[in-house]
Amino acid sequence: MGQVLHNDVKFVAGVGEARARLLERELGIRTVGDLLNHLPFRYIDRTRIYPIAEVTEAAQLTYVQIRARILHVAYIGEGRKKRFTVTAQDGSGRVELVWFQGIKWIEKKIEVGREYLIFGRPAFYRGVLQLAHPELETMEQALSRKAESGMQGIYPSTERLSAALGTKGMYRIICNAWALLRERIEEPLPASLREQYGLIDLHEAYYNIHFPQSAQLLQQAQYRLKFDELLGIQLGIQSRRTARMARQNGFLFPKVGERFNTFYNELLPFPLTGAQKRVIKEIRQDTVTGYQMNRLLQGDVGSGKTLVALISMLLAVDNGFQACIMAPTEILARQHFASFQRMLQGLPIRVAILTGASKAKERRTALEGIASGDIDILVGTHALIEDRVQFQNLGFVVIDEQHRFGVEQRARLWTKNQQPPHILVMTATPIPRTLAMTLYGDLDVSVIDELPPGRRPIQTFHYTDAARLRLWGFLKKQIKLGRQVYVVYPLIQESEAMDYKDLTDGYEAISRDFPLPEYVTAICHGKMKPADKEESMRQFKEGEAHILVATSVIEVGVDVPNATVMVIESAERFGLSQLHQLRGRVGRGGEQSYCILMSGEKLSRESRARLEAMCETTDGFRLAELDLKLRGAGDVNGTLQSGMAFDLKIANPTRDVQILTVTREAAASVLEADPALARPEHQGLKVLRERFTEHHDIDFSQIS
């Protein structure tokens, strides 16, 4: 890209020192190029003006433009709570405009009796349409604005930034930044590739993504920019694979030894399913090739992934290596540790645990044992990736519930050795292989597509509060039968305080309605001390507590086979994959299990569809598909993207499947002809590959 793109963003008209600092702090934008890479996430049609009466709650509009005359203004409240409100109307209805800040400035601008073009985000307060901090211009100003296609980009922003730079302000500085470009943006793709895939050039694409000249050009611009991102990733993944296959530096596990055999033949608590056996075989084959294994194990909730992990780790230990398993939560790590100790009793094998909550002694045992080689298997949480965890001879790494970890965290674990250990990542979120690779990098995929025998499908029901008494009766009956019950509350950052209140209110109500000594209720959530959490989990696991009230911390992995009922409160607030994970906590023993989804009466169409889907099927793969269909950028996406290896600005691998497939082919054919991307016409591609590549352990110079 040209020189201008590297210039400090503060020199763009309308930015200056203060806003430049804010842009950097809030969005990481430092240069003109960064600013032009800040892309709109949606567009609004500025030629469309809504009659106020049409802006209803049901219409679910995110931004509206209305044309209305000011009736009167008012000041409400005092001091910091002071507000400035303006009532305006058009022929169809009234709107209230509100300012909490910058009142002095706006009151000067507003003239009662005059007509304005007003733009903002509709909200409804006691049924009245309200726009907070809208943008205003007089009709004269609006009419003098030069007409474009009418589509104006809305840019992602943060609360702090929007206060200093509104929707329109952001748009204006992007316009100003563009005006600075004196030459065309450099084109990274060879002409032949652009022609073959019908791509517009990069300069055109940037222009139209910011200032769409037509709907069609906007679409072409989006396609082009997505193409570049996904192509960059594909080039990276495929090169990386070639490099991995060229290296031949994988540890060898040729021996099936004493521990593996004794466990397999004498200690297995139950016969393995066919699918479990197949995956173990795949892992055994991988670990005798001399290549480093990079395998993703997908298997629905409850399909028995842990056992596969354990058996694979025994294989490593038998061959003289250490192994570790990293779980996303303290609870889950403790559970793995306990069950490994139980299952491995009598075998010459030493297991230790290390978590953030480990006390001094536990920590010392783990750290010293791992460094000296006394410990064979280390179970833990994120604590495993701390620098002071030094393995003597780490040969095998398992990562449980993979999507919970960021890429950095994962990568740090496998750079602990000179020679990379074999890696098994396990997830219950089913995704197609191409997509998995795009998200997680170069890997092979195994699937457990079979549940252990004797499982009865969980019955799922959806109730509202009206049915609560009946639900309580049902829970009591189950507890009388000797079973246990989970009651789970949502917890999200944005509404944390309220969510905790719901949880503790719920806990109190249940403790009252299910009185001691007949019923024992335990509680477990993130704000409790680790020791208290552990005690609650222990009570529940050992059957001392009948009911466990918890936040979704129990979502992943917890295994209490005697629990048969999962009650999910405010179920409409959970995504499908989360609901499915939660439901997977029951149905683990031989007894009929139930999942009860509690929700309010009023539900959005989407929430209703989610709850209905849950009642209809227990198949995780189908639910994941449905989720994609329902929301496009749905919950599956959210969880996937959070663990994603690459920082994508526009492409969404779960939605842009077609582009993904195309770029995969494109990358393969380019690399086939020029594996090192050494040709002059491939220099742009080389830069693209660099930009979308994880940088931890790749040395592309080895490819030839």
The binding site for ligand ADP (CB under 6 A) comprises 270, 272-273, 276, 299, 301-307, 428, 452, 557, 559, 561, 588
Q: Residue 302 binds what, of ligand ADP, Mg ion, none (CB under 5 to 8 Å, by partner type)?
A: ligand ADP
How near is the Cβ of 299 to Mg ion at its closest, in Å? 9
Element holding 701 (H helix, E strand): none
Edge-to-edge strand order for the sheet containing 122-125?
Answer: 122-125, 128-132, 94-99, 83-89, 64-76, 115-120, 135-138
Give the residue with the Cβ less far from ligand ADP, 557 or 653.
557
Give the residue with the Cβ less far from ligand ADP, 22 or 563.
563
Of the listed pieces 474-482, 552-560, 604-612, 618-626, which binds Mg ion according to CB under 5 A? Answer: 552-560
> Binding to Mg ion by residue 575, rule CB under 5 A?
no
How near is the Cβ of 315 to ligand ADP at its closest, in Å? 17
- Per CB under 5 A, which of residues 495..524 are in contact with Mg ion? none
* Token output for 483: 């079973």
Contact status, residue 42 vs residue 66, Cβ threshold 8 Å: no
Give the residue with the Cβ less far from ligand ADP, 561 or 675.
561
- Report the distance separating Cα 292 and Cα 290, nearest Å: 7
**Residues contacting residue 478 through CB under 8 Å, at least 6 positions apart:** 485, 564, 565, 594
How near is the Cβ of 428 to Mg ion at its closest, in Å? 7
How near is the Cβ of 476 to ligand ADP at its closest, in Å? 26
DSSP 405: S
> Binding to Mg ion by residue 557, rule CB under 5 A?
yes
How near is the Cβ of 537 to ligand ADP at its closest, in Å? 15
Q: Residue 2 binds what, of ligand ADP, Mg ion, none (CB under 5 to 8 Å, by partner type)?
A: none
* 478-482 long-range contacts, CB within 8 A, separation 24+: 478/564, 478/565, 478/594, 479/514, 479/519, 479/546, 479/547, 482/562
Give the residue with the Cβ less far from ligand ADP, 41 or 270.
270
How near is the Cβ of 400 to Mg ion at its closest, in Å? 6
Binding-residue total with Mg ion (CB under 5 A): 1
How near is the Cβ of 97 to ligand ADP at its closest, in Å? 52
- Report the distance separating Cα 323 and Cα 334, nearest Å: 17
DSSP 460: E
**One-letter amino acid identity for 217?**
L
How near is the Cβ of 454 to ligand ADP at its closest, in Å? 7
Give the residue with the Cβ less far from ligand ADP, 70 or 311.
311
How near is the Cβ of 304 to ligand ADP at its closest, in Å? 3
Beta bridge partners of 138: 116
Please, is 205 exposed, middle or buried when counting C-beta atoms within 10 Å of its C-beta (0-12, 13-18, 19+)?
Answer: buried
Give the residue with the Cβ less far from Mg ion, 86 or 399.
399
Q: What are phi and psi of 699, to 5 degrees?
A: -130, 95
Q: Residue 299 binds what, of Mg ion, ligand ADP, none (CB under 5 to 8 Å, by partner type)?
A: ligand ADP
- Report the distance separating Cα 221 and Cα 141, nearest Å: 30
Q: Which stretches within 483-632 are classed as H helix? A: 496-513, 530-541, 576-583, 605-616, 620-631
Determine how many CB atoms are found less than 10 A away from the CB of residue 122. 22
How near is the Cβ of 332 to Mg ion at its closest, in Å? 7
Cβ-closest position to ligand ADP: 304
> Binding to Mg ion by residue 33, rule CB under 5 A?
no
Half-sphere exposure of 524 (CA within 13 A, CB side): 27
Give the residue with the Cβ less far from ligand ADP, 199 or 310.
310
Of the listed pieces 15-23, 386-394, 551-559, 690-698, which binds Mg ion according to CB under 5 A? Answer: 551-559
What is the DSSP code string of 634-648?
-HHHHHHHHT-SS--
- Report the distance separating Cα 634 and Cα 626, nearest Å: 10
- Report the distance separating Cα 83 and Cα 591, nearest Å: 59
How near is the Cβ of 555 to ligand ADP at its closest, in Å? 11
Give the residue with the Cβ less far from ligand ADP, 307 or 671.
307
CA 160 to chain CA mean position, Å = 24
Determine how many CB atoms are found less than 10 A away from the CB of residue 335. 20
How near is the Cβ of 531 to ligand ADP at its closest, in Å? 24
Q: Residue 270 binds what, of Mg ion, ligand ADP, none (CB under 5 to 8 Å, by partner type)?
A: ligand ADP
Q: Residue 273 binds what, of Mg ion, ligand ADP, none (CB under 5 to 8 Å, by partner type)?
A: ligand ADP
How near is the Cβ of 418 to ligand ADP at its closest, in Å? 31
> Binding to Mg ion by residue 134, rule CB under 5 A?
no
- Report the distance separating Cα 611 and Cα 605, nearest Å: 10
Q: Residue 95 binds what, of Mg ion, ligand ADP, none (CB under 5 to 8 Å, by partner type)?
A: none
Q: Residue 561 binds what, of Mg ion, ligand ADP, none (CB under 5 to 8 Å, by partner type)?
A: ligand ADP
> Binding to Mg ion by residue 584, rule CB under 5 A?
no
Contact status, residue 387 vs residue 370, Cβ threshold 8 Å: no
Of the listed pieces 243-251, 465-473, 550-558, 690-698, which binds Mg ion according to CB under 5 A? Answer: 550-558
Q: Residue 276 binds what, of ligand ADP, Mg ion, none (CB under 5 to 8 Å, by partner type)?
A: ligand ADP
How near is the Cβ of 563 to Mg ion at its closest, in Å? 15
Judging by DSSP bridges, how do beta strands 394-399 and 422-427 pair with one another?
A: parallel
Determine how many CB atoms are found less than 10 A away from the CB of residue 496. 13
Half-sphere exposure of 368 (CA within 13 A, CB side): 6
> Binding to Mg ion by residue 232, rule CB under 5 A?
no
Q: Residue 234 binds what, of Mg ion, ligand ADP, none (CB under 5 to 8 Å, by partner type)?
A: none
Q: Which stretches within 386-467 are classed as H helix? A: 407-414, 433-440
- Report the distance separating Cα 169 and Cα 172, nearest Å: 5
- Report the distance separating Cα 441 and Cα 461, nearest Å: 39
Give the residue with the Cβ less far from ligand ADP, 75 or 270.
270
- Report the distance separating Cα 487 and Cα 481, nearest Å: 18
Give the residue with the Cβ less far from ligand ADP, 237 or 333.
333
- Report the distance separating Cα 687 and Cα 571, nearest Å: 46
Give the residue with the Cβ less far from ligand ADP, 299 or 441.
299
Give the residue with the Cβ less far from ligand ADP, 137 or 591.
591
- Report the distance separating Cα 514 and Cα 474, nearest Å: 12
* Token output for 391: 């393995």
Nearest to 340 by CA among 392, 263, 429: 263
- Per CB under 5 A, which of residues 176..205 are in contact with Mg ion? none
> Binding to Mg ion by residue 250, rule CB under 5 A?
no
Give the residue with the Cβ less far from Mg ion, 41 or 270.
270
Give the residue with the Cβ less far from ligand ADP, 525 or 588.
588
How near is the Cβ of 392 to ligand ADP at its closest, in Å? 28
Q: Residue 174 binds what, of Mg ion, ligand ADP, none (CB under 5 to 8 Å, by partner type)?
A: none
How near is the Cβ of 459 to Mg ion at its closest, in Å? 22
Give the residue with the Cβ less far from ligand ADP, 305 or 462.
305
Residue keyed to tokens 């044309």: 67
**Residues contacting residue 72 through CB under 8 Å, at least 6 positions apart:** 86, 87, 112
Give the residue with the Cβ less far from Mg ion, 55 or 314.
314
Name the site residues for Mg ion (rule: CB under 5 A).
557
